[in-house]
Structure 1
């Protein structure tokens, strides 16, 4: 009898393996509307041609506005994470300056007039959410977000002040006002798309969702990866892969509103995502010269994307029917969609 039971168990094993649980299996039980997430894979606009201007993004902005997001998440670190990276500089050399330098500098500038710690300023700014604001109120909230280490949300409020009134005053000193103006004019998609759209929609903030906690793992293998790239055919061929070459060539087309829209459609074409991910990240899995270092690079990348997905989820606070726009470098798009699509009550919406 025991042998018969064991045989039946073994026969059933493959079927059981196919019945693994997915959180999305629970969707039919829900009584509330799902969260809709649009992941906008973007070229990094700092690498656009010299004749690119941010007003060329208007056709893209109009399509995103039609999605009517309730939350906008951006590829930037939170003020809390910026302070963590700065405090742990020995563990993350150079990371705070590269990925949180603007946030930390504006926090310091705002600290000259805002007599709160960054954490206190963040709580104060959050408490103002949903309140009707005059230009003076937007100026005060911009200063609070800047002090909190969230310059992008500070910019959301700065842009909601009529252009002629965007001047120093109250808690916004001359240097902070100039810094916010520079941020507004920057070729950074978190500003040119995220903050601009959030201001247009009257949002209280944007939601920084990047996370470099696994950056120490990545940094630990950089010298070995640099050596491997010089000798490993799998890594040397990444940029010549047709899928990668197409997106790199597309940067040169960012020269008119019509071309910019077509480039964004190209970067977000659903059917193209598997080939691009295979070209860019499959190369590290194929690398034989230093397989351990290459695998560590993939692990750090996947961990970063999983943490991003968690921050996106947390931003909604479980709001039924939330619509989240995620603005992120195009390489992240397939990973974030894969992580989010498997969760309960999350529906992926495509950019068209």
Structure 2
């Protein structure tokens, strides 16, 4: 009888269990109407082209109207899609797991570390101490020293900000900034990427001292057949939505030579419907990929994890100075995820990027 009773109870319980996809949490931070004390944390997410992939005919000075509009928004912080020196240092200590990410995305601060006698952690601590006691009008010597500390800390974008804030006649070695460090900064100043052409100049224009690195490439998935994985994802991407998006992007890139060509590209990448278009051709298609290994779903796991971690870095940054006005520059494919996750935060107000770019 006990066995029959247990079976009956099990069946009754099964009948009341709702499918997982039907469950909705009752606590929805995005639906709450309370407001934090003081000025809000305003975040403007700029979905960016990866400028290094644009044709050689792209002229870097075309970014000026874009930077002008971002500067007019009056940011008090700028974040870019770079991995922080501290995070790269942590991944180097787990090199077998992160060799590809470290080699592909991390700046090597070893030479700057030898020159200063500081490892990455110590250099970051020294940067924090310097900025905590930073004068309203720092001398060129102080800026050169801070630039060198940023290099040792694994933050070359912030070293470039200090360089750009120096008067041209003061952009030289000295005060611990070595000739090799100057060569590194000068090389980075002419890189054709969004950190060198947008983030660092914007921070300098806004009177800021650094660019915040918020990327994360530390995802570690289960071992798999990389060739089969790549083939499965490529097959998922072979769909009408993906082709339509590629054609639209190509048409915009073909117009880069026009006076507002680059600005029009950014307007399209930050239009309200861009994220949904990208999703249909990319992650939405990957979720329905039919390989027995679930390669598409593994890919989406990587993508969502990376975006969650980047947004967590942004949220941590906003906590340093409540009332921050942050421009977060990231590849256009990330923008929809950035905004969706940030929108859930009770102390974050999103700005309309499309309105700023008009």
Does TM-score exceed 0.5, indicating one fold? Answer: yes
Retained in 1: the 8 A contact 2:241–2:280? Answer: no
- Given candidates 174, 177, 187, the residue that maps to 1:172 is 177
- Partner residue of 1:223? 227
SS in 2 for 1:260: helix
Gap regions ≥5 residues in structure 2: 1-11, 17-21
Shift of 1:207: 0.6
- Partner residue of 1:283? 285
- Partner residue of 1:312? 314
Retained in 2: the 8 A contact 1:243–1:276? Answer: yes
- Partner residue of 2:161? 156
1:36-185 alignment, distance < 5 Å:
36-100=42-106, 103-104=107-108, 107-129=109-131, 130-131=134-135, 132-185=137-190
- Given candidates 29, 40, 49, the residue that maps to 1:34 is 40
Shift of 1:318: 5.4
Point out the structure with max Rg over C-alpha: 2
- Partner residue of 1:273? 275
Shift of 1:50: 0.9
In structure 1, how many angstroms separate the alpha carbons of the residues matched to 2:23 and 2:241? 37
Retained in 2: the 8 A contact 1:218–1:300? Answer: no
Shift of 1:289: 3.0
Return structure 1 stretches of 4+ with deviation > 4 angstroms: 16-19, 218-221
- CA gap 1:53/1:39 in 2 versus in 1, 3 angstroms: same
- Partner residue of 2:244? 242
Retained in 1: the 8 A contact 2:242–2:280? Answer: no
Structure 1 residues 62-92: Cα deviation after superposition (integer angstroms, max 9, x where no partner):
1100111111110000101111222222112
- CA gap 1:147/1:35 in 2 versus in 1, 3 angstroms: same
SS in 2 for 1:241: helix
Retained in 1: the 8 A contact 2:242–2:281? Answer: no
Structure 1 residues 37-73: Cα deviation after superposition (integer angstroms, max 9, x where no partner):
1110011000111121221101000110011111111
In structure 2, how many angstroms separate the alpha carbons of the residues matched to 1:82 and 1:296? 24
SS in 2 for 1:128: helix
Shift of 1:229: 4.6
1:199 aligns with 2:204: yes
Shift of 1:219: 7.3
Retained in 2: the 8 A contact 1:24–1:345? Answer: no
- CA gap 1:318/1:24 in 2 versus in 1, 3 angstroms: farther
SS in 2 for 1:41: strand
In structure 1, how many angstroms separate the alpha carbons of the residues matched to 2:111 and 2:67? 31
- CA gap 1:241/1:286 in 2 versus in 1, 3 angstroms: farther
In structure 1, how many angstroms separate the alpha carbons of the residues matched to 2:280 and 2:294? 18
Retained in 2: the 8 A contact 1:77–1:99? Answer: yes
SS in 1 for 2:99: coil
Structure 1 residues 241-265: Cα deviation after superposition (integer angstroms, max 9, x where no partner):
3134312442333335511111110
RMSD value over aligned CA atoms?
Answer: 2.5
Question: Bigger CA drift: 318-327 or 172-181?
Answer: 318-327
Retained in 2: the 8 A contact 1:46–1:187? Answer: yes
In structure 2, how many angstroms separate the alpha carbons of the residues matched to 1:137 and 1:318? 23
Shift of 1:121: 1.2
- Matched length: 335
Shift of 1:297: 0.7
SS in 1 for 2:349: strand
Retained in 2: the 8 A contact 1:281–1:298? Answer: yes
- CA gap 1:335/1:229 in 2 versus in 1, 3 angstroms: closer
Q: TM-score, normalised by structure 2?
A: 0.87
